[in-house]
Homo-oligomer: A and B are copies of this chain.
Amino acid sequence: MTTQDLPATSSRRRRNIARCRSIGDLRSAAKRRLPRAVFDFVDGGAEDERTLRGNEDAFSRLRFQPRALVDVSAVTTETTLLGAPSSLPIVVAPFGAAGFSWPRGDHASAAAAAAAGIPYAMSSTASVTLEDIARCHDGRRWFQCYIFKRREITAELIERARSAGFEALMITVDLPVGGNRERDYRNDFSVPFRYTARNVRDFAFHPGWALSTLFHGMPTMANLTSFEGVSDVNTAASTVGRNYDPSFDWDDLEAIRDGWKGKLVVKGIARGEDAARLARMGVDAVAVSNHGGRQLDGALPSLFCLPEIRAAVGDRMEVFLDGGIRRGADVAKAIALGADAVMIGRAMLYGIAAGGGTGADRAVEILGQELRRVMQLLGAPRLADITPDLIARADLMAAL
Residues of chain A whose beta carbon lies under 8 Å from any beta carbon of chain B? 21-22, 47-48, 50, 54, 58, 60-73, 173-174, 176-177, 179-180, 182, 185-186, 245-250, 253, 266, 268-271, 274, 295-301, 304-305, 307-308, 327, 329, 333, 337, 370, 373-374, 376-378, 391-392, 394, 396-400
Decide if A296 touches B22 in the complex (CB within 8 Å): no
Cβ contact of A377, chosen from B176, B248, B378, B399, cutoff 8 A: B176
CB distance from A196 to the nearest CB of B (A): 13
Q: A72-B247, A180-B370 are in contact. List 5 more A-B contacts (CB 8 A).
A: A64-B296, A66-B270, A68-B173, A246-B376, A398-B398
Contact A300 B72 (CB under 8 A): no
In the complex, are the beta carbons of A377 and B71 less than 8 A apart? no
Interface centre among A71, A186, A391 (most CB of B within 10 A): A71
Q: Is the CB of B400 within 8 A of A177?
A: no
Complex: chain B residue closest to A51, CB-CB: B63
A346 to chain B, nearest CB (A): 16
In the bound complex, CA of A61 to CA of B177 (Å): 24
Interface pair A300/B399, CB less than 8 Å apart: no
A136 → B minimal CB distance (Å): 33
Closest chain B CB from A387 CB (angstroms): 12
**5 closest A-B pairs by CB:** A73-B247, A296-B377, A63-B300, A300-B392, A71-B249
Residues of B within 8 A of A377 (CB): 174, 176-177, 179, 295-296
On whether the beta carbons of A185 and B21 are closer than 8 Å, the reply is yes
Q: Is the CB of B298 within 8 A of A63?
A: yes
Partner of A274, one of B22, B68, B269, B374: B68
Partner of A69, one of B62, B65, B250, B337: B250
Q: How far is the CB of A253 from chain B (nearest CB, A)?
A: 6
10 contacts between A and B (CB under 8 A): A63-B301, A63-B304, A66-B271, A67-B271, A68-B266, A70-B249, A246-B376, A295-B377, A301-B397, A394-B400
Q: What's the nearest-Cβ distance from chain B to residue A137, in Å?
A: 30
* Contact B173–A297 (Cβ < 8 Å): no
Chain B residues with CB under 8 Å of A48's CB are 60, 327
CB distance from A174 to the nearest CB of B (A): 7
A158 to chain B, nearest CB (A): 17
Residues A374 and B182 in contact, CB atoms below 8 Å apart: no
A47 to B248, CA, bound (A): 43
Asked if B174 and A253 sit within 8 Å, CB to CB, the answer is no
Min CB distance, A274 to chain B, in Å? 5
Write out the residue numbers on chain B whose beta carbons fall within 8 Å of the beta carbon of A72: 176-177, 246-247
